[in-house]
Structure 1
Amino acid sequence: MFATATRNFVEEVDPGGLLIPVRSPNDSLTLLTVVVRQKRFWFWQKPKHLPTDFTLNDILTDVIETDFIKYNGTYSDNIQGTMDANFIHSNMNMKGEESSKLQSSFGSLKKDEVDVRKLLQDSKNRVLDMSHCLIQQTRKNRQVFGIVKERIVTSQPCCVIEEMQQTGQCAGTLSLCGPKSPKVSLKDNGSLSKDSNVTMEIRTNTTLAYALIELEVKHDGRYELCLMSNTKGGFEVDSPGKEGLQGVTGASVLKNPEISRLRQEMDHLCGHFQLLATLPASAKSSLLQHITAVLEDRTSLSALQSMLDQMLLDKSADIADVPLAHKENIQAVLDVLVESEKGLAKTERSTTVLRAVHLVTSALDELTSDCLAALRVCCSADVLKIMELLVKCVSASGESPASGADLAVLTEDVLSNIEHLFASANVTLRRDSDAVRTEINHKPGNRPLIMCIALRGLYSLAH
């Protein structure tokens, strides 16, 4: 709940900016808290930041406090569905409806920030203790140091409210008759209603988001502050035969995505999609069903992603830590993956189903909350097929095998969600008579690639 609220807050007030949402209200971040940036599996993933219990408290600095904004946000989803079935001797009617709302009332917020000029002055001739256990562990794992330069904090008690309502109705008549047998008639009418209302109280001076200055650390302990947003920190490599910094990902970021580069990346990942497509039908159906269900809750999706991270590192993942909302769905995904891993040596796991599913969920976890809501509406096999054709269009010539007639059969709701998905990835869809064309709007980041991975991965499970 809290993680979802802070992520929505950052997406709303600082999209594509430097603010990092806080995952837990227990993260007691202060200015100059040391935060470790973890190396991720895929170069286009946003870094994962782990606050530590240490600060650079030996550096004297001034703190500036200013008013930030007054924030109230409400995010809601409504899903409805009906199904009617008629057979020779039976009929069935089912109806379901689900609605959810997450309301964040943070009130007036404050921004604390470091006086960077004074921090620079105080950092001169300072040397880090390279024998400190935190530095040793961070350096060994090729991670990166950063310090909190600003944070957004609550100035009054506030709350996050999550409301969920589920209703369902089922009515049916079933008649059985055969030669020399009595007629059996069964009539059933049932209804299910489930409501939940959870309120989380947030204390004054709780950190909601923060921004970092990363450190470029020399092997002798001297360090420099990375003041430019496009400058990354890391540890200097001791060996004279190597150059550069540890902790900086080797793959380059698509600052201005070009079609040829996008095609190259998708071709490089093609084996993962082919592996998913060749799974048994039951395994594909189970993965698609349960991953789609997890998309309903941002916290559950992040929990699934975290568990897959641990499995790839051969570490134990505890299902008890997963939010209750989609624990069964996450467990079902893990069961399929565990079954697929049986009999494989560790050296054979680089191209396994686990890594392929991790690729897809990593892309899904990078999407914004409104994109996930739009994608859930489009997860039927027929719609995914059309979106796969559009993905080919994005990474190929710009003209899709999908025609205007293909899009015309879609409902207005589904079509608007498809257009929203592609627009959020900086891709414009244009319908020109019987042809569909795509146009990539060149902006910094990897949004077109992330969307293509997510859609192609779901399509591989649907067909």
Structure 2
Amino acid sequence: MNIQPETRSTTIMISKAVKSMLKEVDSNGSLIPVSSLNDSSGKLNLLSLIVKTRPRCGCFWQEPKYQSRGFSLSDVLKPGEHEDKPLNPDVKESDFVDHSGTFGDKKEINSEGNVEGLAADLKLNLDLKCSNEQESSFGRLKKEEVEVKELVNYSKDKRLDMTHPVIKQTRGKPRAILGVLTERIMTSQPCPVTNKVQKRGNVGATVSACVALSMKASMKQSGSTQTESDVSLKIPEYTVIAFSLIELKVKCNGKFDLCLFSNNGGFEKVRSNYEMEEDGIMDLVEDFAANSPLNLNKELEKLSGHFQVLSVLPAATRSSLLQLFKTTMEDREAVSVLESVLDQTCDGETPDLGDLEESERETVQAILDLVDQCVGKDEDEFRSSLLSAIHLIVSAMDGMTDEGLSVLGSCCSPPVLQALQILVQHVAAGIGETLSLRDAGLAVLTEVVVFGRTESLFGHSKVTLKREEDTLRTEMKDQPGYLPLVMSITVKGLASLV
């Protein structure tokens, strides 16, 4: 067992452990998990300013992003306004929860298939067992929270310094909201987190071939594989692992209100010399509850222009993009990193690639190079549309389950993607008709391995495939949330590159 410092893989471990714990103890979802221990290193103090960036328009399945700027509310008040009385509300400390738990998943895959031809019969057998188990013991967690009533009283008649760099930069981003950290959850002792991965599998093949039309030769081959990893780390005591904030509704003159009962913060925006538009950012984002009914066909129709942009790219460019997406899908964290970088790029920012791993930098640069190759000097509008289309696909990939993304990565051949697109269109139409696997576009699904992967992909997206001999029906499960949509967007986007 190895004790390791925080790296990219251990950051994922910590994030999963915190999110799993919060699912059990924070039923209303008011707490925000930290994404990295670096975030809590002196940055997540009570009354710290937090910039919340809401998802891009159309990507409502994405979680907001949070970033501390290292300033407190007092630091950004208009000069002279904080000198009358310092902002120092009472802080309440209490026990939050005593928590330890084990979570993970176990998968078992058994598959058998035959490939028949004029010269040989090939029989494949696959038996794969995987388990990923993570144990965490946070022990007794502490909660610190400010007295909100004091904060409200203090904020009356106060103004923000609208010339402060943090205010100016946040205000300049249409999806950014300013918030104040009012509650945080901290460890009170070193907390061990252990991740155990076991993979065991057997692969066998039998080949029978006709030799010289008069003899029959047979060969059997089998093999097994076993992989185990056991990684452990400790989260230090007094580490912030989750927090909550109150959003600010800021007027052009610097006056602000605390949004105590709803998340509707933002900056007042000037529409003309005589008109004001309150919360101009609010119409850019659609709120969507995870279990809300979803008109899949309508949502995909809204995004059809993005798929069209990808489909008209040169064949070589489409092929390169498809390969880059396929490679990226092999690493869940790489997908999230790529989504974040493209999100910044779409906003006209120049993201800092210095903290990325070499393979991630190469992927980002390769995508940007492909975009530059397709765009002329005076085609800024097309460049923006192309970047938005690419970001949409990566964002949808990032919204898929780990299992669904992994399966889709093995379904990126042109015939399979075209078949998946037909199924997606059928699910979106919602007419419940039976499909024939004898149709040319779906014939590839008669292969045992391909159908198994397809069934798994749709199953992880809350869609059931019901097969009877050469016919197939699709059925969406109750309260599917956004999973069918993000899977459909990813499939249609990848199919646009074929």
Q: Give the TM-score band, short-chain normalised.
A: 0.7 to 0.9
> Match of 1:457?
493
Aligned pairs for 1:292-331 (under 5 A) are 292-317=326-351, 319-323=353-357, 327-328=358-359, 331=362
Superposed, 1:37-436 pairs within 5 Å as 37-43=52-58, 44=60, 45-56=62-73, 58-75=87-104, 101=132, 103-108=134-139, 109-142=141-174, 143-161=176-194, 198-229=231-262, 231-238=263-270, 239-254=273-288, 256-259=292-295, 262-279=296-313, 283-317=317-351, 319-323=353-357, 327-328=358-359, 331-332=362-363, 334-342=365-373, 343-345=375-377, 346-352=380-386, 354-373=387-406, 375-376=408-409, 379=412, 384-399=417-432, 402=435, 414=453, 417-423=456-462, 428-429=463-464, 431=466, 434=471, 436=473
Q: Is contact 2:103–2:133 with CA below 8 Å preserved after alignment?
A: yes
SS in 2 for 1:275: helix
Q: Which secondary structure state, in structure 1, belongs to the residue aligned with residue 169 of structure 2?
A: helix
The alpha carbon displacement at 1:33 in A equals: 1.9
Contact 1:31 1:151 in 2 (8 A): yes
Identity of aligned residues (%): 32
- The verdict on how the C-alpha distance between 1:347 and 1:408 changes in structure 2, with shifts beyond 3 A counting, is closer
Answer whether contact 2:251 2:268 (CA < 8 A) is retained.
yes
Partner letter of residue 27 of structure 1?
D
User: Which residue pairs with 2:3 in the alignment?
Assistant: none
Post-superposition shift, 1:35?
Answer: 0.5
**Residues 148 and 211 of structure 1 are in contact (CA less than 8 Å); yes or no, is this contact kept in structure 2?**
yes
| Counterparts of 1:388 and 1:361, CA distance in 2 | 17
Provide the aligned length of Structure 1 versus Structure 2. Answer: 432
Instruction: Give 1:439 shift.
Output: 4.4
Give the secondary-structure state (helix, strand or coil) at the position aligned to 1:399.
Answer: coil
Write the letter of the residue equivalent to 2:52. Answer: R
Post-superposition offset of 1:22 = 1.4
Structure 1 segments unaligned to the other structure (5+ residues): 171-189
Counterpart of 2:322 in 1: which secondary structure? helix
One-letter code of the match for 1:414? R
Across the aligned residues of Structure 1 and Structure 2, the Cα RMSD in angstroms comes to 4.6
CA apart distance, 1:23: 2.0
Sort the Cα spacing of 1:344 and 1:316 in 2 relative to 1 into closer, same or farther, 3 A. Answer: same
Contact 1:168 1:193 in 2 (8 A): yes
Is the contact made by 2:93 and 2:145 (CA closer than 8 Å) also made in structure 1? Answer: yes
Distance 2:50 2:283 in 1: 18
Whole-angstrom CA distance in 2 between matches of 1:438 and 1:166: 32
1:34–1:51 contact (8 Å) kept in structure 2: yes
What is aligned with 2:37? Answer: 25
Instruction: Mark the CA change 1:283 to 1:191 in structure 2 (over 3 Å): closer, same or farther.
Output: farther
Give the Cα separation in 1 of the matches to 2:349 and 2:367: 18
| CA distance in 1 between partners of 2:427 and 2:224 (Å) | 45
The Cα of 1:397 is off from its aligned counterpart by 3.8
TM-score by length of 2: 0.70
Distance in 1, matches of 2:323 and 2:108, equals: 16
> C-alpha displacement at 1:165, in angstroms?
8.0
Q: SS where residue 395 of structure 1 aligns?
A: helix
**Partner residue, 2:5:** none
Counterpart of 1:179? none
CA contact (8 A) 1:35 1:146 kept: yes
**Contact 1:72-1:106 at 8 Å conserved across structures:** yes
SS in 2 for 1:138: helix
